[in-house]
């Protein structure tokens, strides 16, 4: 008598299990749903810039609402108008890479775009830091994460980097400090010695800055204007044999390409720099015209807390440069 005849139910169960196992081991059929193609960084930047353009239209509508012209808008109204200067200049651009806090929490740290890309960068990395003031957690974090980076610090109010860099032999070996001020023109014999950013780059033999940090108590307006203006001029008259950073393409006459990857900037909108909304707006738009896009901001509430009743006229902004080829715009990273 066969096994099937004696135990038909058990044989049927065994065959069923074998069929199920065979089915599970078969290769999966190709999906009928096509996979979404991965967008290039260039495509993402184009889409984000289109979205940013819509935010600019919103800014102009807000100017008409509270102005109706920029000359009529008050940066920090004392009553009646429910806005501040910062409501017109929102970080409406989305960085296409991971954004994370670099450095200490609170005053000193920065919101950074694409740290992993900076770490993977194959070329030497250059950091400029204006305004040290004895606190260097941001610079130390970058140097620790990216051993191929060097940092150049400038501050006439102190004589060295903060302990986070100065007291670490491995990090201090890749740091360079100068008691200079950043300004709109060169005054090497002034007290303190003052230089433009473009002059300091020439002195150091640099054609590109991966990370530019500026916290210089209000001098950022004239210093950045002079820097941008120098490239507006040079983009129209640059010779074909002018030395360039290997990741920077030649500039077109109609488009300024700044030699920086991202900008970490504390804006001090006090005094004349904040009193004239129209002047501030023109300065801000010069940065936008040069390809800088704000992707993060946070108010300096420490200052407001310490100086009771003070206007909220200090704010940290993080910008990325959407032009040129560098770690934040190049798909090779």
pLDDT value at residue 250: 44
Half-sphere exposure of 275 (CA within 13 A, CB side): 2
151 within some domain: yes
pLDDT value at residue 255: 83
C-alpha to C-alpha distance for 150 and 148, rounded to whole angstroms:
7
22 within some domain: no
199 within some domain: yes
C-alpha to C-alpha distance for 44 and 54, rounded to whole angstroms:
16
Residue 92: burial class (beta carbons within 10 Å; 0-12, 13-18, 19+):
middle
pLDDT tens digits, one per residue of 137-153? 999 999 999 999 999 99
Q: Residue ranges of the chain with pLDDT lower than 70?
A: 1-37, 234-254
327 within some domain: no
- Residue-range definition of the domain harbouring residue 49: 43-321
pLDDT value at residue 16: 65
* Domains held by the chain: number: 1
282 within some domain: yes
The total of other beta-carbon atoms located within 10 Å of residue 130's CB is 22
pLDDT value at residue 282: 96
231 within some domain: yes
Cα Rg of the chain, angstroms: 27
pLDDT tens digits, one per residue of 264-311? 999 999 877 777 999 999 999 999 999 999 999 999 888 888 887 788
The total of other beta-carbon atoms located within 10 Å of residue 9's CB is 7
pLDDT value at residue 31: 52
pLDDT value at residue 253: 43
25 within some domain: no
11 within some domain: no
């Amino acid at each position: 008598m066969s096994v099937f005849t004696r135990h038909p139910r058990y044989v049927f169960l065994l065959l069923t299990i074998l069929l199920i196992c065979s089915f599970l081991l078969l290769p999966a059929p190709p999906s009928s749903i096509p996979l979404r193609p991965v967008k290039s960084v260039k495509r993402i930047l184009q889409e984000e810039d289109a979205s940013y353009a819509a935010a600019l239209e919103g800014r102009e509508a807000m100017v008409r609402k509270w102005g109706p012209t920029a000359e009529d808008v008050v940066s920090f109204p004392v009553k009646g108008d429910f806005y501040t200067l910062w409501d017109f200049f929102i970080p409406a651009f989305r960085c296409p890479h991971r954004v994370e806090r670099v450095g200490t929490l609170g005053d000193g740290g920065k919101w950074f775009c694409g740290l992993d890309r900076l770490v993977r960068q194959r070329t030497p990395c250059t950091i400029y830091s204006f305004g040290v003031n004895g606190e260097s957690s941001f610079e130390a974090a970058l140097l620790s994460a990216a051993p191929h980076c060097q940092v150049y610090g400038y501050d006439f109010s102190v004589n060295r980097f903060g302990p986070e860099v100065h007291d670490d032999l491995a990090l201090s070996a890749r740091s360079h400090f100068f008691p200079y001020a950043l300004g709109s023109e060169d005054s090497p014999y002034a007290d303190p010695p003052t230089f433009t950013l473009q002059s300091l780059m020439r002195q150091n033999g640099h054609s590109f800055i991966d990370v530019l940090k500026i916290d210089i108590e209000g001098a950022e307006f004239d210093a950045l204007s002079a820097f941008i203006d120098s490239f507006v001029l040079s983009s129209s008259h640059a010779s074909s044999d002018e030395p360039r950073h290997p990741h920077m393409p030649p500039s077109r006459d109609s488009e300024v390409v700044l030699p920086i990857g991202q900008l970490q900037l504390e804006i001090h909108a006090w005094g004349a720099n904040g009193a004239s909304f129209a002047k501030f707006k023109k300065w801000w738009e010069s940065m936008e015209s040069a390809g800088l896009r704000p992707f993060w901001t946070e108010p300096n509430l420490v200052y407001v807390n310490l100086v009771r009743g003070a206007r909220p006229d200090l704010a940290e902004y993080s910008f990325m440069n959407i032009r040129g080829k560098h770690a934040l715009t190049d798909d090779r990273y």
